[in-house]
Amino acid sequence: MRKIVGIYASPREDGNSRVICDAVLDGAMGLSTNMIEVFHLNKLNAARGCQNCERCKDLGRCVLMDDISLVLESIRDADSLVVSIPVFFGHAAAQYRILEDRMYSFLDRGLSSTIPSGKKVAIVVTYDRNDGSAASVMNDLSEFYRHLGFEIVGNILYCCYGRRDTASTDNEVLSLGRSVGHRL
């Protein structure tokens, strides 16, 4: 049984990034009895940013004990990951940025990854405006996960054109999501 972790960063529970992430997880479940664990970053009560204390370089894990610690441990144990993130003001939404900074604890002093290799990741980025910032967010996320040793099995960059529910009726992106999920 493979463990697949889904990470929703949008504050909107029925948002476009959530719907696409669910399609990916659906695809992942279609093939086998994979175990799925999901985290709604917006619902975490205690989520502190990286303190740059460097204790993780001695301990091999983040010293902070909050809800983000649970997400970090789950990612460390996972076989595959789906991250689904809206673009806010040209960047990944803050709910996700806190988690990403805390993944500093996955790096050693030389900034090499300390988490087991061979994990897979699917990355979903949703946005409204074609000004290039979403592509840049996707590019940065891809670089980051590659650096951590993940194999990227799918990048879904989805423009919502200002519609809050467009993904739920877009069969093309839902089917793409399921096919990416099959690769996890």
Kindly tell me the burial class for residue 57, based on how many C-beta atoms sit within 10 Å of its own C-beta (0-12, 13-18, 19 or more). middle
Q: How far is the CB of 76 from ligand FMN (least distance, A)?
A: 26
**What is the rounded distance in angstroms from the CA atom of residue 175 to the CA atom of residue 56?**
40
Q: Which is nearer to ligand FMN, 76 or 91 (CB)?
A: 91
Alpha helices, H only, the chain: 16-31, 55-59, 67-77, 94-102, 133-147, 171-182
Q: Which is nearer to ligand FMN, 10 or 105 (CB)?
A: 10
For residues 164 and 12, the answer to whether their CB atoms sit within 8 Å is: yes
DSSP structural state of residue 167: G
User: What are the residues binding ligand FMN (CB under 6 A)?
Assistant: 10, 12, 15-18, 86-90, 126-129, 133-134, 160, 164
Taking the CB of residue 126, how many other CB atoms lie within 10 A of it? 27
The tokens for 58 are 């001695």
Q: How far is the CB of 104 from ligand FMN (least distance, A)?
A: 25
Q: How far is the CB of 127 from ligand FMN (least distance, A)?
A: 3
Distance of CA 105 to the CA centre of its chain: 16
Q: How far is the CB of 180 from ligand FMN (least distance, A)?
A: 17
For residues 166 and 12, the answer to whether their CB atoms sit within 8 Å is: no
Q: How far is the CB of 168 from ligand FMN (least distance, A)?
A: 10
Q: Which is nearer to ligand FMN, 94 or 107 (CB)?
A: 94
Q: Which is nearer to ligand FMN, 40 or 57 (CB)?
A: 40
DSSP structural state of residue 89: T
Q: Which is nearer to ligand FMN, 134 or 184 (CB)?
A: 134
Q: How far is the CB of 142 from ligand FMN (least distance, A)?
A: 18
Q: Which is nearer to ligand FMN, 43 or 129 (CB)?
A: 129
* Closest CB to ligand FMN: residue number: 15
SS3 content of the chain, % helix, strand, coil (to 5): 45, 25, 35
